[in-house]
Amino acid sequence: MTDATPRFACDAMLGGLARWLRAAGYDAAWEEGIDDWDLIRLARREGLLLLSSDTGIFRIGIVRDGDVPALFIPHGLGKHEQLAFVLEHLKLPVLDPRCMNCGGRLIEVPREDVRDRAPARTFEWQEQFHACERCGQLFWQGTHWQKIAEQLEGLKRV
């Protein structure tokens, strides 16, 4: 990981953690059903920190020996507890949110540019819109955004 901000590769069991890492401002790759070796190759190729709850993956030589940096996520934690564990263990702050679907950066877009994409009622009252630079999904600070922000704010106080 050459960048100061870590990027993550989450195993198939950690899809919820990947989404919440993205909400906390971190790029996190996740693929349903990804096999251990494909995950290891992805982490190595992209310089990602591997996150897994699978003890078996930590017995594979390049993970065990630290050639592929990895962090074991304890069993029995909910997704918010997993996020708190990762942030605390790595001493990471909560950053500006990323797209929870793909991890792309959210870029503010001119309101008029999204008139045809935003729901009409939302467009009437919302002044500010963001779009994911990767997948193009449109975001605005409605009640869902606020609930996510409240969850993340709770982590900042822990």
SS3 11: coil
Residues 73 and 82: beta-carbon distance below 8 Å: yes
Rounded to whole angstroms, the maximal C-alpha distance in the chain is 56
pLDDT value at residue 154: 67
Query: What would the two tokens of residue 18 be?
Result: 């990947």
Closest CA to 24 of 73, 88, 68: 88
pLDDT value at residue 2: 41
CB atoms within 10 A of CB 11: 24
Closest CA to 31 of 78, 101, 90, 86: 101
pLDDT value at residue 65: 94
pLDDT value at residue 143: 60
Give the pairing of strands 8-10 and 49-52. parallel
To which H or E segment does residue 72 belong?
A: strand 70-72
Average pLDDT, the chain: 87
Does the pLDDT at position 1 exceed 60?
A: no
Class of domain 8-90: alpha beta
pLDDT value at residue 22: 94
Cα–Cα distances (Å) from 119 to 45, 108, 124, 129, in that order, read: 39, 17, 9, 12
| pLDDT tens digits, 10-27 | 999 999 999 999 999 999
Taking residues 27-45, what's their average pLDDT?
95
| pLDDT tens digits, 85-126 | 999 999 999 888 888 888 889 888 888 888 888 878 878 888
Taking residues 34-48, what's their average pLDDT?
95
Domain ranges of the chain: 8-90, 106-157
d(Cα 29, Cα 42) in Å, to the nearest integer?
A: 9
Taking residues 25-47, what's their average pLDDT?
95
Kindly report the pTM of this predicted structure.
0.81
Does the pLDDT at position 64 exceed 80?
A: yes
d(Cα 154, Cα 158) in Å, to the nearest integer?
A: 7
Beta-carbon contacts of residue 81 (< 8 Å; ≥ 6 apart) = none
